[in-house]
Amino acid sequence: MIIIMDQHASRENIDDVQKKLSELGFRTHPIFGEVKTVIGAIGDKRHLNTQEIYTLPGVENIVPIMKPYKLAGRELKQVPTVINVGDVQIGGNKVVVMAGPCAIENEKSYIDTAKKVKEAGAEILRGGAFKPRTSPYDFQGLEEDGLKIMAEARDITGLKLVTEVVDTRDVDLVASYADIIQIGARNMQNFRLLKEVGMHKKPVLLKRGLSAKIEEWLMAAEYIISEGNEDVILCERGIRTFETATRNTIDLSAIPVVKELSHLPIIVDPSHATGTWKYVSALSKGAIATGADGLIIEVHSDPNCALCDGPQSLRPSKFSQIMSELSHVANAVERTI
Amino acid sequence: MIIIMDQHASRENIDDVQKKLSELGFRTHPIFGEVKTVIGAIGDKRHLNTQEIYTLPGVENIVPIMKPYKLAGRELKQVPTVINVGDVQIGGNKVVVMAGPCAIENEKSYIDTAKKVKEAGAEILRGGAFKPRTSPYDFQGLEEDGLKIMAEARDITGLKLVTEVVDTRDVDLVASYADIIQIGARNMQNFRLLKEVGMHKKPVLLKRGLSAKIEEWLMAAEYIISEGNEDVILCERGIRTFETATRNTIDLSAIPVVKELSHLPIIVDPSHATGTWKYVSALSKGAIATGADGLIIEVHSDPNCALCDGPQSLRPSKFSQIMSELSHVANAVERTI
Amino acid sequence: MIIIMDQHASRENIDDVQKKLSELGFRTHPIFGEVKTVIGAIGDKRHLNTQEIYTLPGVENIVPIMKPYKLAGRELKQVPTVINVGDVQIGGNKVVVMAGPCAIENEKSYIDTAKKVKEAGAEILRGGAFKPRTSPYDFQGLEEDGLKIMAEARDITGLKLVTEVVDTRDVDLVASYADIIQIGARNMQNFRLLKEVGMHKKPVLLKRGLSAKIEEWLMAAEYIISEGNEDVILCERGIRTFETATRNTIDLSAIPVVKELSHLPIIVDPSHATGTWKYVSALSKGAIATGADGLIIEVHSDPNCALCDGPQSLRPSKFSQIMSELSHVANAVERTI
Amino acid sequence: MIIIMDQHASRENIDDVQKKLSELGFRTHPIFGEVKTVIGAIGDKRHLNTQEIYTLPGVENIVPIMKPYKLAGRELKQVPTVINVGDVQIGGNKVVVMAGPCAIENEKSYIDTAKKVKEAGAEILRGGAFKPRTSPYDFQGLEEDGLKIMAEARDITGLKLVTEVVDTRDVDLVASYADIIQIGARNMQNFRLLKEVGMHKKPVLLKRGLSAKIEEWLMAAEYIISEGNEDVILCERGIRTFETATRNTIDLSAIPVVKELSHLPIIVDPSHATGTWKYVSALSKGAIATGADGLIIEVHSDPNCALCDGPQSLRPSKFSQIMSELSHVANAVERTI
């Protein structure tokens, strides 16, 4: 790292910083500029508490040189990670589509939707049994009963299951049903929950927080991997900005950025990002062309009756049509779907 | 609520929406404009799943008329809530100051800081035993050992304690030590945790999420209150914007907005909002003059050695000086401190 | 529009609002809810100063029903606008590519780049003669000498020219050289400049402001069109958010939103949006797949020597390779390039 | 500045960067870390086009050490600037209040308001003759007729005048009437306009752009000062964020940040920042307590009839009451008003 000293820092201040750095195991290299002095410190920053330096007299700023994440980054692992969910691969050449309703509402409608998304070409079935809702008065999910319905849908269709966990106390339960455990956007920095899913062997779908920088998102992945679970799938789902025309602002530039910084696969959720089914088709194509490894799309056999997120759900017939269009786009970037 | 129909909506679409609304228990009043039709729906929206309406053909938008929160709002309770923490009142005429280090690091330094903030006039002692940290490699807190040190500091100084809980599994433990349970910014929409603290009788300090709208923040308070715990203290601690000169952007306009919409007290955390001790004095004065009911300030007897957030901690001597300046500002707005 | 009255509004307040609305030529329809009253007002809002209503006692909020733009919107003109720039069409089936360096630096290098982008398939040549720069100490452009070099490049290559104007006093000059006049992001709400280009007959490329909502962007287009110039091309170039991994956050969801709200063509500038040439290829593909009508890409024969925006410029060889990849993506969404 | 080399940069890459830096007049100091190399470059960055370095092979990032502004910064000028507007001083111990309606609508109402704000203690009169409006259909100002009315109000009341200029072609005209020339938020990066007002001798009120970082704002001031006009007053007026409860988010932390980085005075516009008169009182107090050198407040003798921004205007009686409250706050921070 580089320590930038204030222009008014004394020679003594500079010496003190160097001394402290030496104590902490760094080799130091001061550069005396015309106005300011900077000090290069060589060593591994990640075990250092930089505040010990930051608050020394005369220190203006500290510039880290190494990335704060290690296991999630490209610096140690160059090869892209491919995650196996049974016979489905995420992060390989084939673009993976996850689809299904936002919440599981009842057995009949869920199984019906599951069959239809399977038929249209989806490989993974989504559905929420534990729902984080902005209002305490909104439907909060069927909990284990929902998980049972999901398992039944898996038995019938052969689709793999992805579903969210929202409480550390439920991780064992959810892991016993799910093929992929989802961490929602609001829990991206629920570090205890991250650690808990890190101790299981199930792949984790880690949604980006509404106001999470890509670096923080990768640090959240680092939490999971550092507990021993390397199978993290990143999911861009829109960030919060000043624009209100869409529910959130989908950040497709996150795809090439993540590909450059990390070896982890990244998928996109155009349904939650936009909040409107009308934009899902266009942005699904855009996501694949930009390089996404997969999509997670809301599909509901009757969006008018959806207990949550109806407006962003596609009907199965529309979803089926989009899937065939997506295959052309995937082919155009030398992938399949 | 008001349903705005698309300009191409047919008469049949309009009839269907009215029929659906009637089934849901609403009285309806259509207004036929020159280009578009709008439908007024009279009844209580909070038990309605508006998506059932939203996805009907021809519906362009739905405009809620009533606020989504009820217990946290001014509509039902006009009188400001005053929360008693032992003999300390929050939300009354006296501005309450909470102070202390970010994390509890060791007994000696914590007790030392506690004595000094008490002497300077603080009434509540802060300190983190469970720390949510962006990096898994950073200090995560002393856990129960930290809580014990806090309790000891309370015994010695008489200060009340505020400390954060980050996991539903720890709520009983934290509640058994703390006088006020803190929900951190990253957990503002950890709804399970909100419900859990809602089931205890201890006052809750609810920090605003980094990207939380004020309405969402009040909905988070609603989660707590709807479980039976009415003692919620809101805490503005900066929101995430494009500006990088400060760690977050302190939103002091939240103070009059919250005072208008809600009966709950609101305090401000200038230390986390700015990330720099140099700005704490100015913004503490600003917060009180704007109408804050209290402050929560980081103070550490040796910021150079702070295991977290050192740069934003004040030394006790500086804190003491600020406290005396703050009393002038409090008096200027007819309050005490 | 709908006027929402405060829950404490008196009957007299309601009557006064209705009276005022009547005076302003509206027909009014009050709806008396259980807690609040709302008043529907039928008439053309765009000639009304809504503040006259807003500040009447008891008024809580006003909800507009009609869009504030008329000429830029789909409500009056359903058919997409196709803009002819000589024999190049923007907004038709063919995706149009504009390319070239950020600034014109010297004749030789500019003409050289022009020839190469022509060869690679671009149809329009970009280049800045008047540069809006954050620092007064940075290169500000060659001004008319730059325009002359552009004209020479047009003579040699047959490419059409797009270049920016930054001052009302230069509009005639720029219009005398350019085939398309560009309004930069920082001038999107320079209303005098919008009016000035609206009085010319040259097509206008209107970049989205860094913090402009789509509605405001369409209002800026409305300024131009309302002066008589209907040929406005919208250009998404990234918005300002909290994310720092890219220079701005490219908002590809703006494409389907604009297509829904407006008849105007929309192109994308992945170079300025990301600030890094490495991400241009991926996001160019993403933009076309999402439905963009064109791209504007920075290409420089020697990015190391670019006087501005070097890091985001592609070398001609890389640009040429991307162009061939883009044709596959265009075909996948049934367009050509 | 510091050049950070990519971890895969070759020894040859590093040599090339050093060679290039030497050619550009820098002395270089490489530091070879365990994974990456960084190169310190000593010299004056402001005359360098850093892109020439940025795009060299192996360069990952460049970290500037010196601030990009010089004349606006504290590095060269430590003493706070006090600006004289006749006998009114801005930036001194006395907090200056500017007040008046948003737009000048007619002589009678303007003069009436002027008299009342004078009586309440304002020293500078605001009013817009040229209005930048989001919609082309909104009232755009009385132009020179408005300026004449302002001059008349000055003659009658003795108040100094502040008014906005929106077009380079109008600067001479506006300067011939105004005592302070205002640059609005939307024109903060209209660099030609900045240069034009920099060539006049009238003080400039420079509003912060809706999405301007403080550094960019100071660079805009640098544009004005570098043309010879040192009398720049910065004005915080809210930034654009995701929060919609207020029109913009007032950033009071900008006050101590600006005070640290710059010698220029800074005032606050609570009316435009919040968009609602109800919040003006609280935030005016907050601004002064935080250290603002002044306020600019909208006051209108009949807000119900205001042709623009009615909802954020105070009635004179309310303004008068606030002024007396503000004097207590000013005194509490050892200033007068």
Verify whether the Cβ–Cβ distance C190 to D189 is below 8 Å.
no
What is the homologous superfamily of the domain B83-332 according to CATH? Aldolase class I (3.20.20.70)
Q: CB atoms < 10 A from the CB of B43, how many? A: 17
| Closest residue on chain D to B270 (Cα) | D253
Mean pLDDT rounded to a whole number for chain A? 93
In this structure, are residues A1 and A65 in contact, taking their beta carbons and an 8 Å threshold? yes
Would you state the structure tokens that stand for residue C215, as one six-digit string?
Answer: 């509605």
Confidence of residue C47 (pLDDT cuts 50, 70, 90): low
Residues 231-270 of A with CB under 8 A from B: 240
Burial class (CB in 10 A: 0-12, 13-18, 19+), C320: middle
CATH class of this structure's domain A2-63:
alpha beta
Verify whether the Cβ–Cβ distance A132 to B211 is below 8 Å.
no
Higher model confidence: residue A157 or residue C140? A157
What is the mean pLDDT of the segment spanning A155-183?
98
Higher model confidence: residue B70 or residue B91? B91
Higher model confidence: residue C27 or residue D252? D252
In chain B, pLDDT over 70 holds for what percent of residues? 96
| Closest residue on chain A to C241 (Cα) | A241
Neighbours of chain D (3+ CB pairs under 8 A): A, B, C
In this structure, are residues C336 and C96 in contact, taking their beta carbons and an 8 Å threshold? no
- Provide the residue ranges of all domains of chain C, joining segments of one domain with +: 2-63, 83-332
Verify whether the Cβ–Cβ distance D34 to A44 is below 8 Å.
yes
**Residue-level pLDDT at B322:** 97
In chain A, pLDDT over 90 holds for what percent of residues? 75
What's the CA gap between C129 and C170, in Å, rounded? 11
The long-range contacts involving A319-324, CB below 8 angstroms and separated by at least 24 positions, are A319/A99, A319/A116, A319/A117, A319/A120, A320/A116, A320/A119, A320/A120, A320/A121, A322/A280, A322/A281, A322/A284, A322/A297, A323/A97, A323/A120, A323/A121, A323/A122
In chain C, pLDDT over 70 holds for what percent of residues? 96
What is the mean pLDDT of the segment spanning A180-185?
98
pLDDT, tens only, A257-276: 999 999 999 999 999 999 99
Domains D2-63 and D83-332 belong to one CATH topology: no
Range picked from A325-329, B41-45, C67-71 for highest mean pLDDT:
A325-329
What's the CA gap between A130 and A173, in Å, rounded? 11
Would you state the structure tokens that stand for residue D13, as one six-digit string?
Answer: 């890459």
Query: CB-CB: which of B34, B40, B240 is closest to C42?
Result: B34
From A6's Cα to the closest Cα of chain D, the distance in A is: 10
Instruction: Determine which of D31, D32, D77, D210 to mutate to test the interface with A (most A C-beta atoms within 10 Å).
Output: D31
Chain B residues in contact with C249 by the CB 8 A cut-off are none
Establish, for the pair of chains A and C, how many residue pairs have beta carbons separated by less than 8 Å: 133
Say if D2 is an interface residue toward chain A (CB within 8 Å): yes
**Residue-level pLDDT at B108:** 93
**Residue-level pLDDT at B134:** 84
**Residue-level pLDDT at C138:** 83
Distances (CA, A) of B244 to A100, B249, D243: 39, 9, 18
Verify whether the Cβ–Cβ distance D215 to B245 is below 8 Å.
yes
Question: Is the per-residue pLDDT at C235 higher than 90?
Answer: yes
Residues 152-181 of A with CB under 8 A from B: 166-169
Question: Is the per-residue pLDDT at A47 higher than 60?
Answer: no
Say if A78 is an interface residue toward chain B (CB within 8 Å): no
Query: CB-CB: which of A239, A244, A274 is closest to C241?
Result: A239
**Residue-level pLDDT at C304:** 67
What is the mean pLDDT of the segment spanning A221-247?
97
**Residue-level pLDDT at C306:** 64
Mean pLDDT rounded to a whole number for chain C? 93
Would you state the structure tokens that stand for residue B77, as one six-digit string?
Answer: 């309770």
Question: Is the per-residue pLDDT at D302 higher than 90?
Answer: no
Strands C59-63 and C83-85: unpaired
Say if A27 is an interface residue toward chain D (CB within 8 Å): no
Neighbours of chain C (3+ CB pairs under 8 A): A, B, D
What's the CA gap between A188 and A130, in Å, rounded? 16
Confidence of residue B114 (pLDDT cuts 50, 70, 90): very high
pLDDT, tens only, D255-295: 999 999 999 999 999 999 999 999 999 999 999 999 999 99
Instruction: Return the bridge partners of D84, or none.
Output: D89
| Ordered DSSP codes for C176-201 | HH-SEEEE-GGGTT-HHHHHHHHTSS
Instruction: Report CA dihedral (C192, C193, C198, C202) to the nearest 10 degrees.
Output: 170
Assign 3-class secondary structure to chain B: CEEEECCCCCHHHHHHHHHHHHHCCCEEEEEECCCCEEEEEECCHHHCCCHHHHCCCCEEEEECCCCCCCCCECCCCCCCCCEEECCEEECCCECEEEEECCECCCHHHHHHHHHHHHHHCCCEEECECCCCCCCCCCCCCCCHHHHHHHHHHHHHHCCEEEEECCCHHHHHHHHHHCCEEEECHHHCCCHHHHHHHHCCCCCEEEECCCCCCHHHHHHHHHHHHHCCCCCEEEEECCECCCCCCCCCECCCCHHHHHHHHECCCEEECHHHHHCCHHHHHHHHHHHHHHCCCEEEEEECCCHHHCCCCHHHCECHHHHHHHHHHHHHHHHHCCCEC
**Residue-level pLDDT at C268:** 98
**DSSP SS3 for C89:** strand
Say if C333 is an interface residue toward chain B (CB within 8 Å): no
**Residue-level pLDDT at C95:** 98
Chain B residues in contact with D241 by the CB 8 A cut-off are 239, 241, 249, 251
The DSSP 8-state label assigned to residue C315 in this structure reads P
Chain A residues in contact with C274 by the CB 8 A cut-off are 253
| Closest residue on chain B to D248 (Cα) | B253
Question: Is the per-residue pLDDT at A140 higher than 80?
Answer: yes
| Closest residue on chain C to A287 (Cα) | C286
Verify whether the Cβ–Cβ distance A136 to B223 is below 8 Å.
yes
In chain B, pLDDT over 90 holds for what percent of residues? 75
pLDDT, tens only, C132-151: 888 888 888 999 999 999 99
Of the candidates D183, D184, D181, the one whose C-alpha atom is nearest the C-alpha of residue D200 is: D181
Query: CB-CB: which of A4, A32, A242 is closest to D241?
Result: A242
| Closest residue on chain D to C217 (Cα) | D134
Burial class (CB in 10 A: 0-12, 13-18, 19+), D12: exposed
Question: Is the per-residue pLDDT at B233 higher than 60?
Answer: yes
Confidence of residue D305 (pLDDT cuts 50, 70, 90): low
pLDDT, tens only, A10-42: 999 999 999 988 888 888 989 888 888 999 888
Chain D residues in contact with C243 by the CB 8 A cut-off are none
Confidence of residue D301 (pLDDT cuts 50, 70, 90): confident
pLDDT, tens only, D56-82: 888 888 888 888 899 999 988 989 999
Using alpha carbons only, give the angle B196, B202, B207 rounded to the nearest 5 degrees.
70
Range picked from B187-196, C24-33, D64-73 for highest mean pLDDT:
B187-196
Residues 295-324 of B with CB under 8 A from A: 303-311, 313
Confidence of residue D52 (pLDDT cuts 50, 70, 90): confident
Question: Is the per-residue pLDDT at C43 higher than 60?
Answer: yes
| Ordered DSSP codes for C136-147 | TTS----THHHH
**Residue-level pLDDT at B241:** 98
Helix residue spans in C159-315 (DSSP H): 171-177, 191-198, 214-226, 254-261, 270-274, 280-290
Instruction: Determine which of A38, A59, A257 to mutate to test the interface with D (most D C-beta atoms within 10 Å).
Output: A38
Which amino acid is it at B207? K
Confidence of residue C274 (pLDDT cuts 50, 70, 90): very high
pLDDT, tens only, B304-335: 666 666 778 899 999 999 999 999 999 999 99
Say if B4 is an interface residue toward chain C (CB within 8 Å): yes
**DSSP SS3 for C297:** strand
In this structure, are residues D124 and D297 in contact, taking their beta carbons and an 8 Å threshold? no
Establish, for the pair of chains A and D, how many residue pairs have beta carbons separated by less than 8 Å: 51
Higher model confidence: residue D181 or residue A135? D181
- Interface pTM, i.e. ipTM: 0.94
